[in-house]
Every structure is written in C-alpha cells, then in structure tokens.
C-alpha cells in the first residue's frame, strides 16, 4: 500500500490548495475496530489523510466522520473494503475513484459524486448534484433524494438508483450498467447511449438520440425487486424501460486490446 | 470557472456585506482574479452613484493623481450642471468613488454625461443598489472598501476567473443594468451570441463599458424591463434569446432571481427557508453563512426562480 505521507508528496503548489505540508491529524476516537472523528476544523487533505491512516495504517474497518461541512473531494481513492459514515453533506467530487467501501452519506452531495467508482455501495440520504456517478464501472450508488443533470454520464457498469427526480441528459453516453429512477427525468434521456438499461417510474420529458423503449424481462423485475429490498425502498412502482436503439451503433466498440488483434 | 453567490433576507435586513464576503471568500478557488458585490441597502431618496475614474492596474504615470483629481472635479461640475444637487462625494480608493446626489431626471442622461469624463465608468446607479468590484479576493475587496457591516436585505456577488476578457475592474462582475436604476447581474458561463446582442442593444442606444460577454445580460434584462416585462418574464425570455452556458443571478430593489441554461451546464446550489434564501455555485459558500447541516438542491435546466423580500 502507498505510504500516507513520505516520498510521493506534492511539493509544487502554485495555487495554495494542495496543502503539501498537511500531516495526519490523528484526532479520531478509536474503539476496537471502529473510529469516529470530527471534521469541522480539518481541511480536505487532513480529512483524507485521517481516513487513509485509519483504514490503511490502523486496519480500522468502520469509520464515522462528523461535520464534513460540504467540503470538496472527501473520501476519494479508498481502495479497501470498509464502512464509512458521513454525518453531514459532502461538496463536489466526493467519494471518487473508490473500490470496495460501503459508504453512507447522511446529507447531500455536490457534483460528480462517486466518479469512476469501481465497486462498493454508496448510499446518499438526501439530494445529489449533477454528474452523479460519472463514469462508474461497478457497485451500487443509491441517492434517496433527487439528482441534477447528466447522471451516470459515460456509465460503464454498476447500478445507479435515484429515489427522486433526475435532470437533463440523464445517462448521456451510457455504455453499460443500469439506472433506476423512481421520479421524473428531464429532456434528452439516454442521449447517445451505447448500451445499458434505464428504468424510469415517472415521466420522461424527452428521449435523447438513439434511446428507445426496451422490452421488459423477468430479469428486470427480479433486479428491481432485489434492489428495492436491499435498500429499503418499499414496494417498487411500475417502471418503463429504455435501452439503446443501436441506430447510432457505428462506433468502434472493441476494447483497445481487441482492436489490435483485428488490425494486425 | 467563476463563482456566484446570492442571498436575500425575507425577514428584515442583515449584515449582507459580511455575509457576501464569507460566501465569496469560501469560493476563492473558483476565481481569484477579481471579486465583486451588488449590495442593497435601505432605499434612500437620494441617488447613490458608484463610479471609478481609473482601473486598478492602469499605469501610474507622473500626473496620475492630478488627473484623477481633475476628473473628479469635472464629475462634480457635471453633476451640478445636469441638475443633481450633491449631498456628498467620497473617495473609496485611489480611483473609486461613491456619490450621493438628489436627482429626479433621466438616469441615462446622467450616466452618459458622467462617462464622457475621461476614464469615468459608472459602476452602479440607484436608490439602494451599490456595486463594488475590484481585483483580488473578496477579503481584500471588502477591506479596501469597508464592506463589513453593510446592512441590507439582499446581495449578489461574484469571484472571477477571467476567460472572455481582461483582468480589470471593467471586466469584473456584477454588472449594473445600464441605464436602469437598481438592477445588477452576475454570471457564471460563456455566451456565444454575445456580439449579435451587443450590436442589437447598441443600436437601441445602450453603451457597453467592457469586452465581457456577461455585461449584455444586464443590459438585455434592463431593456426588457423598460419595455414592460417583469424581472421573471425578462429572465424567462432570456433562456431563448441567449446562447451559451450560463447560470446567472439578477437583482432589483426588491427581488433576486436566478436562471439556468437549457443544459444546466453551470452549477448552482440552493437553500430556501422562511427567513432567507441563499444560493451559490458551491454549497460551501452557503455553509459559510449557515454553519449547520442544511437541505439544499440543484435547480434544473431552464429554471427561472425569483424571490422577493
């Protein structure tokens, strides 16, 4: 595992935002394999250093963060199975690049939450901003409130569940995975999507280019019932399903390694 | 990138000067080039004129100071000539001034006559609007102009990362909706049909002081309102007329409005309660004045929201 401080520290900091001299604040109250700390007076980097120190260095698997204060870029790059609970709201780019953790945010999150998440479960109790789950590749991202625009842009896997409404260009350029939206969605749903499935319970303002109604299967019913059961969302409403019409399906859909085999 | 913030108190007045400084300072990373405020104090019978006679980064040549003094006297002479009785003229900085005058005539004529003085730009005109903008972060501007303790009902502010025009006071937000009393705008985004609108509005007799695309929003709204539209109607119409990406806020003597483009390309976080409405490009700016867990949301595409105090 990468050292918390040490050799790979940032030394160039023209804008004064990177906090190159930040040290692990070590302010947590640790009780067995659980830890709690108050983030009110900590900077972004101090919060992340504290989290990484607890999870990687001390092997703690259950961390509660109090007063995250809507700060940006909190809880990023956690590549370990663990539980983290944020008692409050996060700002932009929270929980990005994670692989494995189970995270609960009791407040709201800003733009680009869980960007590029690889696996794990993230549950957000209130609303989320735009670009929620941008480019996620796996795991479950559950937002109990409403989300902004471009939810799951470039989604490559995993499941995004939204309890409320979603904005314009939801699932823009989606490539794989599923979205389950219990409320209404804005214009341009699934615009230029490549693949994947979108389920919407409310009204759709308009469909994007090459997004078409899909055929319902038993597997869809099973998926939705299972996810609703896991996240305590009650009885599922009736959903419409949308998929890629594959009319725009003229891109090169091979992975780079596969393309090499074809060309050579 | 730029950051914008707005706050309106529904239950009386507050120290909106300090509140806006806290909001803008927490978003300094979104725009370190300049910071600006449009503050609404108690309405006065007098007209408040905020103007500058040079820019912050103008070269300081040998007769810089004498020239400013000469031009300031010229402004005072012209105020008298046009029929405005001067209550007071105060220097805020080396080059920025605040005047209070008694004047009932045409504001456009007044602004045009003053701006004819070399280097003069009227930053705001109105009975309660005061626009303050300068280079540097919000704390610097607030200290320079003594904005802490400014009692008012509502305010908008802007931290600028210059993209479309120069780093100077003329290019800084908020923009006064020349020649309309007590209207100002802040904008985050870029307008793509800016030149077309600038030409159209210039044909109607409006002047532009900067090369900044955002200035047209203020003048556009002013023209629509002069034609009889309400602020809400003018803002609704702007969604079709303005191309590009934008979240902008507009303020009048008793209202604060916000509009988002049809792609919802630029951020806005909104908090609403019975006492106040606060909004900003980032939630941390709202938390800078409401230091507790709050429920916020992002308005959607093509939404226009207007609150009155």
- pLDDT tens string B212-267: 899 999 999 999 999 999 999 999 999 999 999 999 999 999 999 999 999 999 99
Token pair, residue A10, equals 């940032």
CB-based contact A70 B284, cutoff 8 Å: yes
Confidence at A13, pLDDT banded by 50, 70, 90 = low
Residue pair A124/A109 in contact (Cβ under 8 Å)? The answer is yes
DSSP A16: S
Least Cα separation, residue A243 to chain B (angstroms): 22
Q: No. of H helices and E strands in chain B?
A: 8, 17
**DSSP assignment, residue B29?**
G
* B29·A107 Cβ contact <8 A: no
Q: What is the mean pLDDT of residues A197-213?
A: 97
- A145 CB neighbours in chain B (<8 A) are 297
> Looking at residue A7, what is its pLDDT?
53
Q: Is the pLDDT of residue B154 over 60?
A: yes
Has residue B284 got a pLDDT over 60?
Answer: yes
Mean pLDDT over all residues of chain A?
91
CB pairs under 8 A between A and B: 71
Q: What integer is the mean pLDDT of A104-113?
A: 98
Percent of chain A with pLDDT over 90: 84
Confidence of residue B114 (pLDDT cuts 50, 70, 90): very high
Q: What is the mean pLDDT of residues B180-201?
A: 94
| B293/A107 Cβ within 8 A | yes
Nearest to A91 among B283, B298, B301 (CB): B283
pLDDT band with cut points at 50, 70 and 90 for residue A264: very low
A96–chain B nearest CA distance, Å: 17
- Enter the pTM of the model: 0.92
pLDDT > 70? residue A86 = yes
Phi, psi for residue B213 in degrees, rounded to 5: -60, -30
Reading the block at residue A227, the tokens are 């996810």
Chain segment B93-111, per-residue pLDDT in tens: 999 999 999 999 999 999 9
Using CA atoms, how far apart are residues B215 and B209, in angstroms rounded to an integer? 8
Task: State the average pLDDT over residues B282-297.
Answer: 95
Confidence of residue A12 (pLDDT cuts 50, 70, 90): low
Give Rg (Cα) of chain A.
Answer: 20
Q: What percent of chain B has pLDDT over 90?
A: 92
- Closest-CA distance of chain A to residue B264, Å: 7
Lowest mean pLDDT across A19-28, A200-209, B9-18, B111-120 = A19-28
Local confidence band at B124 (pLDDT 50, 70, 90 cut-offs)? very high
Chain B neighbors of A89, CB-CB under 8 A: 283, 293-294, 296
Average pLDDT over residues A106-125: 97
pLDDT of residue B207: 86
Q: Give Dmax over CA atoms of chain A in angstroms.
A: 59
| Residue A15 in tokens | 């804008």
Closest-CA residue of chain B to A188: B263
| Residues of B in Cβ contact (< 8 Å) with A126 | 295
CB pair distance less than 8 Å for A130 and B282: no
Residue scoring higher pLDDT (B252 or A264): B252
Residues A226-240: tens digit of each pLDDT: 999 999 999 999 999
> Cβ distance B268 to B299 under 8 Å?
yes
Give the pLDDT confidence score for residue B189 in this predicted structure: 93
- pLDDT at residue A22, rounded to an integer: 87
CA distance B2 to B309: 26
Lowest mean pLDDT among A167-171, A259-263, B109-113, B240-244: A259-263
CB A199 within 8 A of CB A179: yes
Closest CA to B292 of B305, B273, B308: B273
Distance from CA of B22 to the nearest CA of A (A): 15
Average pLDDT of A112-123?
Answer: 97
A167 contacts A188 by C-beta, under 8 angstroms:
no
Task: With CB atoms and an 8 Å threshold, state whether A148 touches B298.
Answer: yes
The residue whose two tokens read 């003018």 is B234
Nearest neighbour of B283 by CB, restricted to A110, A130, A167 = A110
Predicted pLDDT at B81? 97
* pLDDT (0 to 100) of residue A21: 81
Q: Which residues pair with B52 in a beta bridge?
A: B96, B121
The question of whether B120 is a catalytic residue gets the answer no
Cα A86 to Cα A69: distance, rounded to the nearest angstrom: 10
pLDDT at residue A85, rounded to an integer: 98
Give B61's pLDDT tier (boundaries 50, 70, 90): very high
More confident residue, A216 or A2: A216
How many Cβ atoms are within 10 Å of A210's Cβ, its own excluded?
17
Closest to A121 measured CA to CA, from A106, A137, A101, A107:
A101
Give the residue-averaged pLDDT of B118-135. 96
Number of H-type helices and E-type strands within chain A: 3, 12
């Amino acid at each position: 595992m990468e050292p918390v401080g040490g050799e790979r520290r940032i030394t160039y900091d023209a804008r004064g935002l990177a906090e190159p001299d930040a040290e692990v604040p070590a302010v947590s109250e640790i009780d067995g394999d659980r830890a709690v700390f108050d983030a009110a007076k900590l900077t972004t980097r101090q919060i992340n250093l504290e989290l990484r120190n607890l999870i990687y260095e001390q092997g703690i698997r259950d961390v509660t963060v109090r007063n995250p204060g809507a700060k940006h870029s909190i809880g990023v790059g956690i590549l370990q199975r663990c539980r983290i609970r944020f008692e409050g709201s996060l700002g932009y780019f929270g929980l990005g690049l994670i692989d494995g953790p189970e995270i609960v945010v009791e407040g709201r999150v800003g733009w680009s939450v869980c960007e590029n998440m690889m696996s794990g479960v993230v549950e957000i109790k209130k609303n989320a901003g735009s670009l929620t789950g941008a480019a996620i590749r796996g795991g479950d991202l559950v937002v109990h409130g409403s989300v902004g625009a471009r939810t799951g842009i470039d989604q490559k896997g995993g499941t995004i569940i939204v309890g409320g409404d979603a904005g314009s260009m939801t699932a823009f350029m989606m490539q794989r995975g599923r979205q389950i939206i219990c409320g209404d969605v804005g214009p341009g749903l699934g615009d230029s999507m490549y693949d994947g499935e979108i389920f919407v319970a409310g009204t759709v303002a308009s469909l994007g280019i090459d997004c078409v109604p899909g055929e319902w299967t038993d597997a869809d019913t099973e998926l939705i019932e299972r996810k609703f059961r896991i996240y305590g969302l009650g009885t599922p409403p009736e959903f419409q399903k949308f998929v890629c019409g594959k009319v725009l399906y003229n891109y090169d859909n091979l992975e780079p390694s596969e393309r090499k085999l074809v060309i050579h | 990138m730029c950051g914008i913030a707005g706050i309106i108190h529904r239950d009386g007045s507050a120290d909106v000067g300090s509140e806006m400084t806290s909001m803008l300072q927490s978003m300094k990373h979104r725009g370190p080039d300049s910071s600006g405020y449009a503050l609404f104090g108690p309405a006065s019978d007098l007209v408040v004129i905020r103007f500058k006679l040079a820019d912050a980064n103008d070269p300081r040549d040998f007769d810089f100071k004498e020239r400013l003094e000469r031009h300031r006297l010229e402004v005072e002479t012209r105020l008298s000539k046009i029929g405005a009785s001067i209550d007071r003229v105060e220097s805020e900085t080396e080059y920025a001034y605040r005047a209070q005058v008694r004047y009932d005539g045409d504001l456009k004529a007044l602004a045009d006559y003053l701006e004819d003085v070399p280097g003069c730009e009227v930053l705001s005109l109105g009975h309660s609007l005061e626009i303050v903008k300068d280079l540097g972060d919000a704390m610097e501007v607030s200290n320079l102009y003594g904005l802490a303790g400014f009692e008012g009902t509502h305010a908008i502010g802007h931290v600028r990362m210059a993209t479309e025009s120069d780093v100077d006071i003329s290019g800084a937000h908020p923009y006064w909706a020349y020649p309309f009393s007590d209207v100002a705008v802040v904008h985050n985004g870029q307008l793509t049909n800016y030149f077309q609108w600038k030409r159209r509005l210039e044909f109607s007799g409006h002047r532009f002081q900067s090369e900044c695309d955002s200035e047209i929003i203020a003048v556009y709204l002013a023209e629509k309102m002069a034609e009889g539209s309400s602020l809400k109607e003018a803002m609704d119409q702007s969604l079709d007329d303005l191309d590009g990406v934008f979240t902008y806020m507009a303020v009048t003597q008793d209202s604060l409005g916000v509009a988002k483009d049809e792609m919802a390309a630029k951020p806005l976080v909104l908090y609403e309660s019975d006492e106040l409405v606060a909004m900003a490009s980032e939630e941390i700016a709202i938390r800078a004045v409401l230091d507790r867990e709050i429920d916020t949301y992002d308005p959607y595409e093509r939404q226009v929201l207007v609150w009155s105090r």
